[in-house]
Every structure is written in structure tokens, then in C-alpha cells.
Copies of this chain bind each other. A is one copy, B any other.
Amino acid sequence: MEFPLVQLELPSWLSLRFEDDSTVWTTREERMHLVIELARANVKKRTGGPFGAAIFERDTGKLIAPGVNLVTSSHCSVAHAEIIAIMIAQQHRKHFDLGAPGLPPCELVTSCEPCAMCLGAIPWSGIRSLVCGARDEDARQIGFDEGAKPVEWIAELQRRDICVYRDILRNEAVKELIDYRDQGGLIYNSREG
């Protein structure tokens, strides 16, 4: 019996996007603007769903890792934008804990509030803050299943010293979701039994 290797790579358009780009994204709005741009480009380039994310050094705004949803293109249901960004950031740091002693605090910025899986992944990742654009209900509104989350999910993150900022450029973020639906984009992973 042989088992395949799992290899997850950013699409080439995304790597090109950051070639020769030394921008520092200072504010939460600037960071959100970037991940919404990635969500939009991901749909346009047909590499996945309308979701973008990125991990920044929280205090400097330096980009550590971008992420887009690669579920369909990489045959991987785990490949949500947040998970891709987390995995790339950890490879970059060569550490499974982005909050390990000696490392600068990291912030995860996502164009839409995390689904149950990504929410569960956040405490293990070591990020210290989470910035969200669209709300959970905005994704559900266009047919995406966000999964079963604890009702008090924000308090649960805060209890672990992870700050949560919601509704950053929410209208812009929601627009990407609605545009995707209106273009007839595939709503995958909405199995309801």
C-alpha cells in the first residue's frame, strides 16, 4: 500500500501578486482590504471559493502568509483560506506555535468569520488576534455551511487571550460573497445529510 504526499501550494497568481511588494499593512482596515482583494482574485482566477485570509505580524503589519480557499483546486476540504495562511506562516516560522516565546505576536485577518473547523484551529495556531470582515450569517445567507460552533465562540477565544475584531469592512466583504453567488459560483461542502 502506498499513500500520496499532501502538498499545498499558493496559486501562481498569488505568489506573483506579492513579488516585489514590500508594503506594510498598518491598520486593520488595510489588512482587511488586502484579504478581500485576495478573495475576489481567487474567484476570478478560478482557484477556489470567495474567501481570503492572511497572517501579519500584529504590531508591525508585515505580511507573514497570505491564504485563499483552495478546497476545490487542491482536492482538500481542509484547505480553507485561514488554514492555508496558518500552515504557511508556521512553515515560515519553522514552528507549530506562532505564539511561541521570542516570536512577534501574529494576527489572522479573514474576509469572513471562521467556520467551525477554522475556529477550532485558531487556539492551536498561536495567533494572538483575529480580525473578521463578513459575519458567519453572511456566508450562510449565500448558502455556505459554517458548521456547528459554540454559541460563545468569541468569549472562548478571549478566554485564551486572543482578541477578536468583527465587522471590519463588512459591507465590502459581504459584496464578494454576493457577487460569487450571483455569478453562479459553486457552493461546495453544504451537505446537510
Residues of chain A touching chain B, judged by Cβ–Cβ distance below 8 Å, are 1-10, 15, 18-19, 21-22, 63, 65-66, 71-72, 74-79, 83-84, 86-88, 90-97, 99, 115-121, 123-126, 145, 147-150, 152-153, 156, 159-162, 188-189, 191-193
Contact = CB atoms under 8 A, between A and B. Distances in A.
How often does this chain occur in the complex, in copies? 2
Nearest to A71: B96
Contact of A161 (B71, B95, B116, B193): B193
A6 B8 contact: yes
A75 B95 contact: yes
Given A6-B88, A22-B1, A123-B145, A191 B160 contact: yes
15 contacts: A1-B21, A1-B63, A3-B65, A6-B9, A71-B124, A76-B91, A76-B96, A78-B83, A117-B121, A123-B145, A123-B189, A123-B191, A126-B191, A148-B153, A159-B193
Pick the most buried of A66, A90, A93: most chain B CB atoms within 10 A of its CB.
Answer: A90
Nearest to A94: B75
A19 to B, nearest CB: 7
A5 to B, nearest CB: 5
Nearest to A73: B96
B193 A160 contact: yes
B126 A77 contact: yes
A186 to B, nearest CB: 11
Given A76-B90, A94-B75, A120 B124 contact: no
Nearest to A160: B193
B192 A160 contact: yes
Given A4-B88, A75-B94, A124-B147, 14 more contacts: A5-B9, A71-B124, A74-B96, A75-B91, A75-B96, A76-B90, A78-B87, A117-B120, A119-B120, A120-B148, A123-B189, A148-B150, A148-B152, A160-B191
